[in-house]
Structure 1
Amino acid sequence: MMLVVDKVEFTYRSRPVLRDIRFEVNRGELFSILGNNGAGKSTLLKCLNRILKPQTGTILIEKEDLSTLNRREVARRLGYVAQRYESGRFTVFDAVLLGRKPHIKWSATPRDLKIVQDVLQVLGMEELSLRYLDELSGGELQKVVIARALAQEPRVLLLDEPTSNLDLKNQFEVLKIVKKAAKEQNIAVVVVMHDLNLAMRFADKFLLLKNGTIFACGGMEIMTPENIASVYGVQVTVERLAGIPVVVPL
């Protein structure tokens, strides 16, 4: 098991935000966290990354307790892509190279440079290497941020709404990249998502959050009209079109 979360709870200004959160993610899995706005999805992701410190509970990566590791050691194991990020006057290559920072002691080694080149090649971004971030489209910039996280060689990749503000083509491209990284690099990927149809198309497992607690956790068997209606407050049906599950509000 790559990631084990057990009894995690987080309180902000005496208000419970997360209560008794427990789940596991295997190597090669894409695990989707779903729920309404304010359910605690982004807070949970920040607890997993030690940006926020849970009041109780344990988070294990390959049986190592995250709370015993320093920030550099955490960054070697966890890649994190936030909802919002700043673009600057960096080239794409230099921006992705920043992902090697947790591994670099004095200066970038030939191995660091090769890892960046390999990541850019895998993502089909070699032609963008010398472009500046502020010259990129939203979809291109999102791929750069994911490439930087992958350059860290993380064991767990965390993404907070990676497809928000992207058009349909880029939504699919970004999630295909993430899915491929999970399988080929044998890492665990945890993604906060809003779009149920994208989640069901790409994720292996799901966590339905409601009011800071787990409503359901598992595979496609939990993505029922009854569960979705209970979590989102909308009556839906789940149909299959060309073998692909689709949520249709009623």
Structure 2
Amino acid sequence: MILAVDGVEFSYNSHAVLRDIKFAVARGEFLAILGNNGAGKSTLLKCLNKILKPRRGTIMIEKDNIFNLSRLEVARKMGYVAQRYESGRVTVFDAVLLGRKPHIKWDVSPRDLEVVQRVLRVLDLEGFSLRYLDELSGGELQKVIIARALAQEPGVLLLDEPTSNLDLKNQLEVLKTIKGAVREQNLAAVVVMHDLNLALRFADKFLLLKNSTVFACGGMEIMTPENLTSVYGVPVTLARMGPIPVIVPFIPGGP
């Protein structure tokens, strides 16, 4: 396992947000963190990236406890894509080059430039290199932010709702990009998601949070109507459209 979380707990003042969180992710796995608003999904992601410090518990990346690592060392091992970010008068190339910052010692090296060019090529962004971020569409900008995280060459990619505010086409393209990076670069991706059907379509593994703790963690075997009804408080059924599983919610007394 490249990432192992054991007994993590976090509180804001006296309010417990995370309790006894345990799970692990291997290289090549796409883990979706799921649960209602306020379940602690984004807080958990920030704990994994050392933005927040848990009250107790351990977070191991490969053989290192992240709390024994510097911020620079964590950035070399983990790429983080926040839920919100600012665009500006920065070119796409320079924005992705910022992802190399944890590796740059004195000046940008030929190796750094090679990595940026490769990531832009893989994400089909070469034609955008000299465009400014504030000239991009929402989907294009999201791909650039993911490219910047990939330029760090992390072992683990952390993403907080990467498809929020995107249209259907861009949601699919962004998640295909993440899934492709996981497979081709042998990464682990940990992704906070709200759309259960997108999670079912792209994730290999699922972490269901309820009442600040882990309700269930595993593969498709945990994505049952019973578990999802318990976590979300809405009765659902699981159907299939060809090979694609689909979750259909029922609203009592509604259509």
TM-score, with structure 1 as normaliser: 0.99
Distance 1:220 1:63 in 2: 28
1:81 partner amino acid: V
- The aligned counterpart of 2:64 is 64
Distance 1:183 1:122 in 2: 13
Distance 2:242 2:125 in 1: 31
Specify the SS of the correspondent of 2:153. Answer: coil
Specify the SS of the correspondent of 1:86. Answer: coil
Specify the SS of the correspondent of 1:16. Answer: strand
Kindly state the Cα deviation for residue 19 of structure 1 after the two structures are TM-superposed. 0.2
Kindly state the Cα deviation for residue 88 of structure 1 after the two structures are TM-superposed. 1.0
Distance 1:179 1:212 in 2: 27
- The aligned counterpart of 1:211 is 211
Distance 2:64 2:28 in 1: 19
Distance 2:248 2:151 in 1: 38
- The aligned counterpart of 1:194 is 194
Distance 1:215 1:174 in 2: 28
Gaps in structure 1 of 5+ consecutive residues: none
Distance 1:212 1:83 in 2: 20
Kindly state the Cα deviation for residue 207 of structure 1 after the two structures are TM-superposed. 0.3
- The aligned counterpart of 1:8 is 8
Distance 2:212 2:106 in 1: 42
Kindly state the Cα deviation for residue 211 of structure 1 after the two structures are TM-superposed. 1.6
Distance 1:89 1:105 in 2: 25
Aligned residues: 250
- The aligned counterpart of 1:180 is 180
Specify the SS of the correspondent of 1:84. Answer: coil
Task: Kindly report the root-mean-square deviation, in angstroms, between the aligned alpha carbons of the 2 structures.
Answer: 0.5
Overall identity of the aligned pairs, in %: 76
Residue-by-residue CA offset, 1:161-196 (whole Å, 9 max, x unaligned)? 000000111101100110111111111100000000
Residue-by-residue CA offset, 1:111-144 (whole Å, 9 max, x unaligned)? 1001000000000010000000000000000000
- The aligned counterpart of 2:253 is none
TM-score, with structure 2 as normaliser: 0.97
- The aligned counterpart of 1:245 is 245
Residue-by-residue CA offset, 1:60-97 (whole Å, 9 max, x unaligned)? 11121101000000000010000000001100000000
Gaps in structure 2 of 5+ consecutive residues: 251-255
